[in-house]
Each structure stands twice: as C-alpha cells, then as structure tokens.
Structure 1
C-alpha cells in the first residue's frame, strides 16, 4: 500500500492547479522531494479515508487553498496583536487603485 500511495504522490505532484501539487511544491522547497512525496501520500490517504468513511465525493480544494488559509490566520494574528497593544481594529479591504487616465 505504501508503494501505491508513494506513486500516487509522485503523480499528484505533477498535476496542475491542485491542492496536492501545491502541497508537494511547498514542502519540497523546504524538506526535499522524497519527504514531500511521502507527506502528499499521507494527505491522499487521509482524503481517501474521509471520502470512504463519510460516503461523500472528493472535493478538490485548489492550489490556492493553503495560501488563503495562511492569509486568514495571519490577519487574525495581527489583529489580535494590535488589540493586545490597546488598539481597536476593524479590517476593511482597500479599494483597488485605478490609474488616472491622461
């Protein structure tokens, strides 16, 4: 089973715009290719387990899922830090800057 999952991890690392591919590339940069493949294989195993246990279809999260999660966590953390310093914080997105037309 480990061999099949490892091969699946290698295959998933070569796909485009998928959660497993993004996970592989993030980990391979820090830990190395082989450890990243094992981590992706573990993620695949967990996904298969939950699909079979809950009897639900697989839902692809997308390549930007990890980035958006980290961005949300960072916003929460920074807001909490400012509140610890005694500031009242309300986050609002900035309007995109539109260049002035000549």
Structure 2
C-alpha cells in the first residue's frame, strides 16, 4: 500500500505536468500539508494562483511568489476529476496504512525488546527489524552459526572467480 501511495503521487505529478503546473519545482514534498491544500483547491476548480499560494504554511510562506508562478497553468475538467480521484485514493491508502501499522505494532508487542535491539544496529530501522523478526523469528538455536543464518537469509558474500580471475556478471 505504501508503494501504491507513491505511485499515486507520481500520477498526480503527471497530471500537474499536463496542466503546466510546476508545484514540485517549488515544494520539497508534493504530499505535504500545504501542497495538499493547494491540490484540493485545484481539484475543486480554483484558478486563483494567489489564493492557492496563500495556503502555504510555515517555511513555505517565504516561497509565495514562486508558488504563485508555479501554480499558473490550465487544468481541464477531466484533469480536475482525475486529481480529485487520486487525492481520495491517497486518503484511502493512508487510512489503511495506519490501520496495518497499528496491527503490526500490536502483533510485534511480545518481541518489542528484540526489535529494539535489532533497531539499534546502524542502517536498520524499526520496520526492517520487524521484518527480520517476522522472517527468522527469535529462536536462533535453529542455526548452528551466524554464517548459517546469513546463508539462509541469502546475504552471504559470493566469491565468483574462475582461474584466479573475478568473474564478471552478464549485463542484459
């Protein structure tokens, strides 16, 4: 669902480009609160770039002149309908992502201590720690050594060479 949400945001960006609206060139996040307010106004039929730019919050208020320029474009009725539909789909996905996150958190509560330990490894976040626990469990007795665990997980380094020379992978 997170990936689908990202795809939907890309579709919104494509609709905006088709309408010659360059919002993403000014804002850092097309799915931020200020951007969302502006997109909602666009979907509702607003053509007033100044009014939409005034929806900017906090740090983005400094960019109001650039926002006004970026929001000048022409959005047809079909594009508005598509934008509205995409925004509603994102809302649906976000509500379900929150629901699933809550469910995952509840199911992982019994192993929260192990998740915290794995999360303390640099480069591994809470979600990755949850996935690791879900995949291999907490009983490491099933693996005779750390190398066996790494092999089972498919993260063993390979040594592909022939006649003492490193083998090159084929590029297709």
The TM-score with structure 2 as length reference comes to: 0.19
Look at both structures and tell me which one has the larger radius of gyration over its CA atoms.
2
The TM-score with structure 1 as length reference comes to: 0.28
Greater relative CO, 1 or 2 (CA 8 Å, sep 6+): 1
